[in-house]
């Protein structure tokens, strides 16, 4: 059945891939994006683009009158450091923006929300590895707090309005179209700097670990969540820890060599280990992130090389 879907952040990295997949499935897609970090070049030609802030009256009217069956919400303030520097702004975008969309969507025909949450920042320093959905949530940044609060708001909306809400807690997502500027997305940052002839810098000793999941696997999880009833939360990760030194070595392998990275000061408060289990996702939705890391890196490097070539 064809659905009318609003994808917020659909001009950005993950959201644009999700929008592509929804269109390929035959759904009508409207993208809401303020283009603060996204790009029009990422927007599928078959999608309608509405350039606005998710906190705006325009977004509210669009959700109330747009006839959307489903909201896939990827627009966010996602810079952890900015959230620490300006918690009010982080909460305004991530919490108030979500409320603006969902409350007004429920005045229309909205039936479901799929929410992009975080599987790293929401758990904090883990008690066990990999973390499942039952792990205590102890976010140590305002960004993580706002994502957890958003999940609680969605649970409230599910009970109060009777809509379905599915929260997908992403691990560290990488892949084509990732923004190499800013502090998020170390894979994109390293590749971009190497292609520019620069020497990347690793924070601290590089032994901090993350769970790197390819964007294609994130898309599959989103598609599998369409039509789910009730309120549910799923991790989307590989269950595999990779430290930054190994990550950098893998990138050099794919790029056929390069300089040794520099090592800078460790970032204060940086999480030491982060890895999440997708066992519930696999058992409930039949999806398991299974892209081999080296294969995902190869596709990502190919895309960044194409971008660098087009800019010459």
pLDDT tens digit string along 37-96?
999 999 999 999 999 999 999 999 999 999 999 999 999 999 888 999 999 999 999 999
pLDDT at 301 over 80: yes
Report residue 311's pLDDT band, with 50, 70 and 90 as the boundaries: confident
Rounded to whole angstroms, the Cα distance separating 111 from 69 reads: 5
Burial of 156: CB neighbours in 10 Å, binned 0-12, 13-18, 19+: middle
Average pLDDT for the chain: 96
CB proximity list for 173: less than 8 A, separation 6 or greater: 13, 14, 212, 213, 214, 215, 218
Q: Which CATH architecture has domain 4-173+213-236?
A: 3-Layer(aba) Sandwich (3.40)
Rounded to whole angstroms, the Cα distance separating 37 from 93 reads: 14
Task: Give me the active site residues, please.
Answer: 143
Compute the residue count for the chain: 312
Regarding pTM above 0.95, the answer is yes
Angle between helices 97-107 and 57-65 (to 10 degrees): 30
Q: What is the pLDDT of residue 55?
A: 98
Tell me the per-residue pLDDT of 145-204, one tens digit each, with 9 for 90 and over: 999 999 999 999 999 999 999 999 999 999 999 999 866 699 999 999 999 999 999 999
CATH 3.40.50.720, the chain: domain bounds: 4-173+213-236
Rounded to whole angstroms, the Cα distance separating 295 from 182 reads: 25
Q: What is the pLDDT of residue 268?
A: 79
Query: Tell me: domain 177-210+241-275+292-310, CATH 3.90.25.10, correct?
Result: yes
Rounded to whole angstroms, the Cα distance separating 143 from 138 reads: 12
Give the gyration radius of the chain's Cα atoms.
19
Q: What is the pLDDT of residue 183?
A: 61
Q: Are 264 and 202 in contact (CB under 8 A)?
A: yes
CATH 3.90.25.10, the chain: domain bounds: 177-210+241-275+292-310
Tell me the per-residue pLDDT of 233-285, one tens digit each, with 9 for 90 and over: 999 999 999 999 999 999 999 999 999 999 999 987 788 999 999 999 999 99
Q: Are 146 and 137 in contact (CB under 8 A)?
A: no
């Amino acid at each position: 059945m064809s659905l009318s879907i609003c994808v917020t952040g659909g001009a950005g990295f993950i959201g644009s891939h999700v929008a592509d997949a929804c269109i390929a499935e035959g759904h009508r897609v409207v993208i809401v994006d303020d283009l603060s970090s996204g790009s029009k070049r990422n927007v599928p030609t078959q999608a309608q683009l509405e350039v606005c802030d998710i906190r705006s009256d325009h977004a509210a009217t669009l959700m109330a009158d747009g006839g959307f069956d489903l909201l896939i919400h990827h627009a966010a303030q996602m810079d952890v450091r900015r959230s620490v520097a300006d918690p009010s702004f982080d909460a305004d975008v991530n919490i108030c923006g979500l409320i603006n969309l969902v409350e007004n969507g429920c005045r229309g025909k909205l039936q479901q929300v799929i929410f992009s949450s975080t599987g790293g920042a929401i758990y904090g320093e883990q008690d066990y590895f990999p973390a499942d959905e039952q792990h205590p949530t102890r976010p140590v940044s305002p960004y993580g707090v706002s994502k957890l609060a958003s999940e609680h708001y969605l649970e409230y909306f599910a009970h109060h309005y009777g809509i379905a809400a599915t929260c997908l807690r992403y691990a560290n997502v990488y892949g084509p179209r990732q923004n190499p500027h800013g502090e998020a997305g170390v894979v994109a940052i390293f590749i971009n700097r190497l292609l520019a002839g620069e020497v990347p810098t690793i924070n601290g000793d590089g032994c901090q670990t993350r769970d790197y999941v390819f964007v294609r696997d994130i898309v599959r999880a989103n598609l599998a969540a369409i039509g789910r009833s009730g309120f549910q939360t799923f991790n989307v990760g590989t269950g595999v820890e990779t430290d930054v030194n190994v990550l950098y070595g893998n990138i050099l392998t794919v790029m056929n060599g390069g300089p040794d990275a520099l090592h800078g000061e460790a970032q204060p408060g940086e999480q030491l280990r982060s890895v999440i289990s997708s066992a519930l996702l696999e058992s409930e939705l039949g999806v398991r992130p299974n892209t081999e890391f080296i294969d995902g890196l190869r596709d990502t490097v190919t895309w960044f090389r194409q971008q660098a070539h087009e800019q010459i």
